[in-house]
Structure 1
Amino acid sequence: MALSMVLVILSLLPLLEAQNPEHANITGIPITNVTLTWLSGKWFYVGFASHNLEFKKEAQKVQSEYFYFTPNLTDDTILLQEHQTTEGRCVYNSSQLGVQRENGTLSRKGAVEIIAHLTVLKKHGAFMLAFSPEDEKNKGLSLYADKPAIAPELKEVFQKTVKSLGMDESEIIYADWEKDVCSQEQEHLDMKKKKKEKDL
């Protein structure tokens, strides 16, 4: 659960511009209704890098993850519904994220509140979440996209941003969608539901 919390928070890091990620400002970019509406829907976890050893250890257990964002524009929250393949099994989790519009962050409360800066990459159908960018021991960055397979250009943007935060490309842990079991379980449930409706 700690990893999924981190991944979600990271996904919400400040919106980075794709043109010059190495110089991009990943903090303090305001979140608007347009941003929240754009974030609504299904997203796929692509990759994660962090200096936080606990988060790194948890990330290594996650093989794949997709989730749904349902923003509430009135109370500045996002309903998060995650489907995560961890060590060969599907884990479902639902939680609420807080939206701090002015400083461009998303937060998730738990034993410890995690705050991530959101960077939207509309051109690529993706976004990044950066957490603790100024803290050498805890800094991290995650990438999410509207499909599990990403273009080389988007991968390069992510890698350059990881480097710009003082981390190494070798520290990136990528999702392995060949090991995804959640999608298979969902397809099975959908087929079962359709068959049941057909029989009625």
Structure 2
Amino acid sequence: MVLAWALPVLSLLPLLDAQDPACANLTAMPITNATLERISGKWFYIASVLQEPSYNRESRQIQADFFYFTPNMTEDKILLREYQTIRGQCIYNSSYLEVQRENGTLSKHLSDGKHFAYLLLTKDPKTYMFSFFPEDEKNRGLSFYADKQDVTEEQLREFYDALRCMGLQETDILYTDGKKDLCGPLEQQHEEERKRNQES
């Protein structure tokens, strides 16, 4: 999930200083054990506006995407198991994310270096967002996740409001389509294997 990780950024605070108070919840907060518990489990990648060229290209290829976060709170790591449908194929990947508690980021090592994303918790505990390059007007981006593929207008409204706060356009939103998901059978196979391993 390269699109979910951006290069290091300093802080969301300068971006938000002179903006509407409604934008204040776009500040990445320190990550606690409670935060990690909240984001553990299964999530669906719903939509994004990603201006950074390589992230934008990748996001355009994703038809459907869901994943599991399994945090290890003592090591500040998260096991990421991701199921992506890209160009009519199911692609599965498993990797680890590192948690930077103080500045509210998750990071991932890729071939071109370490990439970071700011975790933005929403009012609704069934959704959250990742922010990228908030200080860079040309590369700024935001992605939206939910615990179900089908989201409500109310849930999406918080995403739309956040886009406006960041100066991004709703017309640039790329949505996934759960009807195009081809990874259900593989997910079921993996779940059955895990259950057998736990029983043995």
* Partner of residue 7, structure 1: 4
What is the total number of aligned residue pairs between the two structures?
181
Deviation by residue 1:70-100 (Cα, 9 ceiling, x = unmatched): 1010011111010000111000011111111
* Partner of residue 160, structure 2: 159
* Partner of residue 119, structure 2: 118
Structure 2: distance between partners of 1:42 and 1:122: 18
* Partner of residue 131, structure 2: 130
> What SS is found at the alignment partner of 1:123?
coil
TM-score under structure 1 length normalisation = 0.82
TM-score under structure 2 length normalisation = 0.82
Moved over 3 A (4+): 184-187, 189-193
Structure 2: distance between partners of 1:178 and 1:138: 30
Structure 2: distance between partners of 1:173 and 1:36: 27
Structure 2: distance between partners of 1:21 and 1:184: 45
Structure 2 unaligned segments of length 5 or more: list them: 7-11, 13-19
Rate the CA distance shift 1:50–1:90 in 2: closer, same or farther, 3 A.
Answer: same
For residues 98-117 of structure 1, the aligned pairs below 5 Å read: 98-110=98-110, 111-117=112-118
> What SS is found at the alignment partner of 2:78?
strand
For residues 84-99 of structure 1, the aligned pairs below 5 Å read: 84-99=84-99
Rate the CA distance shift 1:133–1:192 in 2: closer, same or farther, 3 A.
Answer: closer
Rate the CA distance shift 1:143–1:21 in 2: closer, same or farther, 3 A.
Answer: farther
Percent identity, aligned pairs only? Answer: 42
Deviation by residue 1:1-36 (Cα, 9 ceiling, x = unmatched): xxx122367xxxx9xxxxx88422433411100110
Deviation by residue 1:50-85 (Cα, 9 ceiling, x = unmatched): 111221111010011110001010011111010000
Cα pair 1:27 1:104 within 8 Å, conserved: no
Query: Which amino acid in 1 is paired with 2:179?
Result: E
Structure 2: distance between partners of 1:53 and 1:47: 16
* Partner of residue 66, structure 2: 66
Cα drift, residue 165 of structure 1: 0.6
Deviation by residue 1:77-130 (Cα, 9 ceiling, x = unmatched): 111010000111000011111111111111111113211111122525011000
